[in-house]
Amino acid sequence: MPEGHTIHRYARRHLETLGGQRLAVSSPQGRFADGAARLDGRRLEEVDAVGKHLFYRWEGDETLHVHLGLFGRFRTHRATVPEPSDGTRLAMVGDEATVYLSGPTACELIGPDEEVTIRERLGPDPLAAGVNGDGLAQVRHNLSRRRIPIGAALLNQSVVAGVGNVYRAEVLFLAGIHPATPANEVTPDEVRTIWELTRQQLRRGERAGRIVTVDPHEVGARSRRDLSRDERLYVYKRSGEPCRRCGMAIAAGEMANRTIWWCPSCQDGAN
């Protein structure tokens, strides 16, 4: 379930549970054996999240870069720790918790130059602590020079870092913008709306530990907590179902190699 909110949540939780400790690090699967051996017994000092990337800082100036990709997943165990599965790329064992990582796109030790390269490829991160109006200006600039559909642009991490397939669909619905609208035709006001919604929704997702974009009152619930699994999103994976606002059937299509959903009535415009 890795969009930016999940990554930032992991950074915070891993620092809380493992930070400051010397960890037993290994690679049960073997594919990160050399790197794990290098980290084994070192103290974990810091965990940074940028977009969908994680950087673990260890004593001795080692940096572990993790990108979960589509399948990557962390599991934290406390009281009883099961044997790692065959696919466990990385195991980090601390005083009170064990963290297993499986299926990452990237799990590697990197140097300062490589980290700079990664960061330079990324647009502003809506969850970055210091992001202000400057992030909005950057997104405006990044969108203004692209003719691709806004729905494709939002998945491009060099435009905004941290948005994935769920948030791109949900944010465009909330903004009332059709996903096929060319990025450079989205007005400055609309970009502001997109940026602010993205920040708000990612923050919400990080806090809740799951993506909930629906306003509970619209579905007759009292709070976000009361929403059932099927009530949490407006359009994502709701092809053919009635729009929660206008009742029109949610449409689906492909954009940037992924499925996108939208309400043809609430998100008019292009097409």
Set 3, 149, 199, 206: catalytic member: 3
**What is the Cα–Cα distance from 162 to 68, expressed in whole angstroms?**
12
Smaller CB separation from DNA, 58 or 261: 261
Question: Is 96 annotated in the active site?
Answer: no
**What is the Cα–Cα distance from 25 to 29, expressed in whole angstroms?**
12
Structure tokens at 117: 């390269």
**What is the Cα–Cα distance from 12 to 26, expressed in whole angstroms?**
22
Smaller CB separation from DNA, 19 or 197: 197
Smaller CB separation from DNA, 86 or 189: 86
Closest contact distance (angstroms) between CB of 155 and DNA is 6
Task: Give the DSSP per-residue string, 14-55.
Answer: HHHHHTTSB-EEE-TTSTTHHHHHHHTTPBEEEEEEETTEEE
Closest contact distance (angstroms) between CB of 181 and DNA is 17
Set 2, 104, 126, 149: catalytic member: 2
**What is the Cα–Cα distance from 21 to 11, expressed in whole angstroms?**
15
Question: Is 237 annotated in the active site?
Answer: no
Closest contact distance (angstroms) between CB of 147 and DNA is 13
Closest contact distance (angstroms) between CB of 102 and DNA is 4
Smaller CB separation from DNA, 19 or 260: 260
Structure tokens at 258: 């992924």
Closest contact distance (angstroms) between CB of 213 and DNA is 12
Smaller CB separation from DNA, 15 or 160: 160
Question: Is 258 annotated in the active site?
Answer: yes
**What residues line the site for DNA (CB under 7 A)?**
1-3, 6, 29, 31, 51-52, 67-73, 85-89, 102-105, 121, 155, 157, 164-166, 211, 237, 257-259
Set 9, 52, 238, 244: catalytic member: 52
**What is the Cα–Cα distance from 70 to 259, expressed in whole angstroms?**
14
Grouping H, G, I as helix, E, B as strand and the rest as coil, residue 110 is: strand
Task: Give the DSSP per-residue string, 111-149.
Answer: -HHHHHHHHHT----TT-TT--HHHHHHHHHHHHT--SB
Q: Do the strands 53-58 and 62-67 form a parallel or antiparallel pair, or are they unpaired?
A: antiparallel
Set 16, 46, 241, 258: catalytic member: 258
* Residues labelled catalytic: 2-3, 52, 258
